[in-house]
Amino acid sequence: MQTSADLNQRTIKDLRRISHKLSKQIIEITTRAGSGHPSSSLSMIDILTALYFSGVMHYDPHRPQWLERDRFILSKGHGAPGLYVTLAEAGYFDADLLPTLRQTGSPVEGHPNMRALPGVEASTGSLGQGLSIGLGHALAARLDGQTYRVYVIIGDGEADEGQIWEATMAAAKYKVDNLTLIVDNNHYQQTGAVEDIMPVLTPFMEKWRAFDWYTHEIDGHDMQKIVSSLEMMKSVSGQPQVIVAHTKKGKGLSPFEADETSHKHGKTLTKEEAQVALSELDDMYADLD
Amino acid sequence: MELGKSIGLEMGVATRDAFGKTLEEMGAEIENIVVVDGDVHDSTRTRFFKNAFPERFFNVGIAESNLVGIASGLAASGKQPLAASFAAFLLCNAYDQIRMGIAYPRLDVKLVGSHSGISLGQDGPSQMAIEDLALAASLPYFTVLVPADEHAAVWATRAMFDHHGPVYLRTGRPDAPQVYNVDSTFQLGKANVVREGNDLTIVACGLMVAIALEAAHTLSQQGIEARVLDMHTVKPIDHAAIEKAALETGAILTAEEHSIVGGLGAAVAQIVTAKQPVPMTYVAIMDEYAESGDPDDLFDKYGISAKHIVQKTTELLDRKQAS
């Protein structure tokens, strides 16, 4: 007889299996495209996997505009490859489109375009804007008497943008509790460490707490923790929630770690580097075999 | 301002007032309308809506970027949001958010910018939008409306909600002389001939329509009959009316309470030069910022009064004669 703990373990195993697949796809499609942001996609791919495949989010890929769906907004739009592999896996569009990333005529554009692909909830790529957009969706739910939830991922460096804090204050003012922000705290922005570019930006927890948000901090690569904290946020009442997820830009894979400045921000791997990264990913998930 | 008095136009209320009252009426008609404010609802006149429908009104503080972002999300989830602030702050502070959150995804958001142009007067250039039409019109998919008086403002407020897609509506602070009456008709994208004439056409928008009528009156006393075209929809602009004016009157003067760069004059010139080239001249703010002061003084000092239209017409008609 299976216990609930066994079932849970299997679920986590399944999720890690999906994350393994999506991580490989991120490397494959960006290396093929020759441009894009694989390290920024890989740092949040475990979180995306938990959101879309653990049952945290309610959605129907055959009805992308279903009013009652939960919304996910990728505010750090340069993480588009991570979003695309996730949406394809979720069934929003055929995975055959993925290798057309960044090609003329392909809806799989360099940054997310909500008019081009089903499942993309916002057109992003200019940083700082997704939390405000998410707040708009969350307020619309309230006005329409709906209970859907809104999830937004921002990058840590993205919090340099003042608009993030404008939205943070407004969400607290309206006590929007169907809004969960996840900070992909991968510690590097385009030209250096977040702590060097803007020294007082971190630590994050105290700042959101000061604005009366419910705050929670996790290892953003621990699938069990990601799923349980996302579930926990659903029971928070009267406050927006932020999960500060400590992640590794490039998921700890050595070709990204080799760049100490920015972990290859906006740089793709060569074919040779990609082989190394794919092999390291296989090792990372060897326990699943 | 004493605009229009010399030619018998009755003073009406400001376009911002007519907008605000009409928005309140529409709030009762369309439950889906939501208003987002950057803590200036008393100035923009969204306060009438706020008082009537507090549950559909969000004052998000002095934060225009967030204001626009929230409107984007509301629209994406099916609401009909309207975001309002001073034209200068809305367009200039939140331009990137308007571009990414409204124009690019072509969302059904209405933007209303008040306190436009130098008729704002004493508050000075920091509050005076003289770039807003250029900024709004350069965004793909945007419709840009500039009502001339209270009747046009009532129409424009209603028209923008009838239109599915992004709209920028420009309103002003001072009372505006009534160019129209309550029975006047309007159509989105179709200019109104507010005065007939065949010697030249003055294409104007906003308060400049009344000023153009004043100038036309003076010109008439000199034997020159100016057609006055109210280009209330600056985008999409009425190609047919402009071509017709060029063909029938052979000379065009544009008049706007806006920078000469990228506004009404530029839009009209694009059509005239491509379709029906005739001599043109421009009454606008000449690539500079104005200053604090009495609005009448400022119109005079910065070259957009009736006197300037008359002066430039003389020069324009010389060129028409020579061509």
pLDDT in tens, A249-276: 999 999 999 999 999 999 999 999 999 9
Hey, is B157 helix, strand or coil?
helix
B77 vs A115, A132, A140: nearest CB: A140
Segment B10-69, tens digit of pLDDT: 999 999 999 999 999 999 999 999 999 999 999 999 999 999 999 999 999 999 999 999
Report percent pLDDT > 90 for chain A.
96
Contact B77 A174 (CB under 8 A): no
Task: Check CB contact of A284 with chain B, cutoff 8 Å.
Answer: no
Q: Closest by alpha carbon to A186, among A171, A170, A204?
A: A204
The pLDDT assigned to A266 comes to: 93
Quick one: pLDDT at residue A1? Answer: 45
The CATH number of the domain covering residues in A4-288? 3.40.50.970
For residue A122, the chain B residues in CB contact (below 8 A) are 72-73, 76, 101, 105
CB contact under 8 A, A136 and B70: yes
Q: Is A147 on the interface with B (CB under 8 A)?
A: no
B64 tagged catalytic: yes
Sketch out chain B's domains with CATH numbers. Answer: 5-177 (3.40.50.970), 192-322 (3.40.50.920)
Check pLDDT > 80 for residue A6: no
Give, rounded to a whole angstrom, the gap between the first and last alpha carbons of chain A. 23
Q: Quote the tokens at residue A171.
A: 């969400």
Q: Where are the domains of chain A?
A: 4-288
Q: Is A133 in Cβ contact with B76 (below 8 Å)?
A: yes
Q: Does A124 touch chain B (CB under 8 A)?
A: yes
CB contact under 8 A, B101 and A122: yes
Contact of A167 with chain B, judged by CB distance below 8 Å, is answered with yes
Mean of the per-residue pLDDT values for chain A?
96
Q: Judge: B104–A134 Cβ closer than 8 Å, yes or no.
A: no
Q: Decide if B73 and A163 are in contact by the 8 Å CB cutoff.
A: no
**Is residue A7 over pLDDT 70?**
no
Sort strands B11-14 and B80-86 into parallel, antiparallel or unpaired: unpaired
**Phi then psi dihedrals of residue A102, to 5 deg:** 70, 10
Of the ranges A6-10, A136-140, B169-173, which one carries the lowest mean pLDDT score? A6-10
Rounded distance, CA A78 to CA A67, Å? 27
The Cα B133–Cα B136 span in angstroms is 5
Q: State CA B319 to chain mean position distance.
A: 29
Q: Check whether A3 has a pLDDT greater than 60.
A: no
pLDDT at B2: 78
Which residues make Cβ contacts (< 8 Å) with residue B178, sequence separation at least 6?
B4, B9, B10, B11, B12, B149, B150, B151
Which residues contact residue B91 at a Cβ distance below 8 angstroms, ignoring those fewer than 6 apart? B98, B111, B113, B129, B131, B132, B135, B136, B168
Judge: A144–B96 Cβ closer than 8 Å, yes or no. Answer: no
The answer, yes or no, to whether the previous bond of B236 is cis (omega within 30 of 0) is yes
Instruction: Tell me, yes or no, if A136 comes closer than 8 A to chain B by beta carbon.
Output: yes
Tokens of A279: 């092999």
Contacts of A179 (CB under 8 A, 6+ apart): A134, A135, A138, A149, A150, A152, A171, A240, A241
CA A218 to chain centre: 14
B contacts of A117 (beta carbons < 8 Å): none
Q: Please give the radius of gyration of chain B, using alpha carbons only, rounded to the nearest integer.
A: 19
- Reported ipTM: the value is 0.96
* Cβ–Cβ contact A113 with B under 8 A: yes
A193 close to B (CB below 8 A): no
What value does the mean pLDDT take over residues B183-204? 98
Cα distance between residue A191 and residue B163, in whole Å:
44
Q: List, for residues B249-295, the tens digit of each pLDDT value.
A: 999 999 999 999 999 999 999 999 999 999 999 999 999 999 999 99
> Does residue B277 belong to the interface with chain A, where contact is any CB pair within 8 Å?
no
Q: At residue A146, does pLDDT exceed 50? A: yes
Q: What is the pLDDT of residue A204?
A: 98
| Alpha helices for chain A (secondary structure H) | 4-33, 38-42, 45-53, 80-90, 130-143, 162-173, 194-197, 205-210, 223-233, 254-257, 271-284
pTM for the predicted model, two decimal places = 0.96
Mean pLDDT over A189-213 rounds to: 97
The CA distance from A110 to the nearest CA of chain B, in Å, is 14
Residue B105 has its nearest CB partner, among A114, A128, A162, at: A114
How much is the average pLDDT of A27-33? 98
pLDDT tens per residue across span A157-176: 999 999 999 999 999 999 99
A132–B96: do the CB atoms touch at under 8 Å?
Answer: no
Q: B65–A113: do the CB atoms touch at under 8 Å?
A: no
Whether the pLDDT of residue A239 is over 90: the answer is yes
Mean pLDDT rounded to a whole number for chain B: 97
Show residues of chain B in contact with A141, CB under 8 Å. Answer: 77
Nearest to A136 among B55, B61, B74 (CB): B74
Out of B72, B96, B105, name the one closest to residue A126 (CB).
B96
Residue A117 near chain B (CB below 8 Å): no
Per-residue pLDDT band at A2 (split at 50, 70, 90): very low
Position A5 scores a pLDDT of: 59
| DSSP 8-state assignment for residue A288 | G
Are B244 and B268 in contact by the 8 Å Cβ rule? The answer is no
Q: What is the mean pLDDT of residues A38-63?
A: 98
B76–A121 CB contact, under 8 Å: yes
Q: Which of B66, B67, B95, B102 to mutate to test the interface with A (most CBs of A within 10 A)?
A: B66
